[in-house]
Amino acid sequence: MILDRFRLDGKVAVVTGAGRGIGAACAIALAEVGADVVLAARTQAQLLVVAEEVRRKGRRAHLVCGDLSDPDAGAALAGDAEAEFGRIDVVINNLGGGRPGPLGHSSTEALEKAFRFNVSTADALTRAAADVMLRGDGGAIVNISSVVGRVAGRGFLAYGTAKAALTHYTRLSAADLSPRVRVNAVAPGIVLTVALQKLVGEGPARERAEASTPLRRIGDPQDVAAAVLYLATDASAYLTGKVIEVDGGLHALNIDLDLPDL
């Protein structure tokens, strides 16, 4: 059956930034289709909540609490996952973010920090996890990029530039790791995470954000998780080096983001 290709029974997935938002939604979705999940984030209390949801799905959850921006954290996380479960089959590089600010209110240091947080962390875990995958049955890596890595939006200089780099990193690493490890990415648009809620609230700013999207709504983390699930499973077995925009049509119609002044 075609739906069998969406299963991850007996597989192990590692999800960074798994304490809330997109990362939490991805972790729970992966558990729903059969994966045991290694949950990594800085805040233990948040991880405990997500771990409980994973276990409700009948899967095992292993928590790794720490700062993944540390240069050695990626290798340590992969080693921890392998020690706990003996394998790694899926990696979701969800950790990322950055302070908004246009060129005049940003800095070179902000750009460098955005690269470390959004690109270097993904690279460190990708390298370490790929070593484990290549000793085993191969696997799939999914990077969480952003629509602002593909379209212009005022105030996203550092973050958008870093996400653009992550998008191309996805293509380059896919070429290097094929055929046994597939690497793809999802580029979310305006998705209602905690950070976005603080930015747009419930008033006119939110209405503007909704109106700027062709589908006329803000995305939900589960919208992103569904695309991640496709890329993490054999449903996408003939895809590598690709980026799926989950953005309500922003990129397809070349529409600029319309968020509050930053």
Does residue 198 lie within any of the structural domains?
A: no
Q: How much of the chain, in percent, has pLDDT values that exceed 70?
A: 88
Is there a contact between 44 and 18 (Cβ–Cβ < 8 Å)? no
pLDDT, position 261: 47
Does residue 207 lie within any of the structural domains?
A: no
Does residue 117 lie within any of the structural domains?
A: yes
Does residue 246 lie within any of the structural domains?
A: no
User: Which pLDDT tens digit goes with each residue over 216-262?
Assistant: 888 999 999 999 999 999 999 999 999 999 998 887 665 555 554 44
Is there a contact between 165 and 119 (Cβ–Cβ < 8 Å)? yes
Closest Cα partner for 128 from 52, 75, 192, 90?
75
Give me the domain span that covers residue 168. 9-188+221-239
**96: helix, strand or coil:** coil
pLDDT, position 164: 96
Does residue 102 lie within any of the structural domains?
A: yes
**190: helix, strand or coil:** coil
134: domain CATH number?
3.40.50.720
Q: Looking at the 3D structure of the chain, how many domains does it have?
A: 1
Quote the crossing angle between the two packed helices 21-32 and 44-56, to the nearest 10°.
20
**Cα–Cα distance, 160 to 172 (Å, whole number):** 19
Residue 155 per-residue DSSP state: T
**Cα–Cα distance, 23 to 189 (Å, whole number):** 15
pLDDT, position 256: 55
- The residue ranges of the chain whose pLDDT is under 50 are 260-262
Does residue 244 lie within any of the structural domains?
A: no
Does residue 106 lie within any of the structural domains?
A: yes
Does residue 184 lie within any of the structural domains?
A: yes
**Cα–Cα distance, 235 to 33 (Å, whole number):** 12
> Which helix (H) or strand (E) covers residue 36, if one does?
strand 36-41
Instruction: Give yes or no: 230 in active site.
Output: no
Catalytic one of 159, 169, 230, 238: 159
Q: Which residues pair with 11 in a beta bridge?
A: none
pLDDT, position 62: 98
**Contacts for 101 with CB less than 8 Å, ≥ 6 apart:** 110, 155, 157, 158, 262
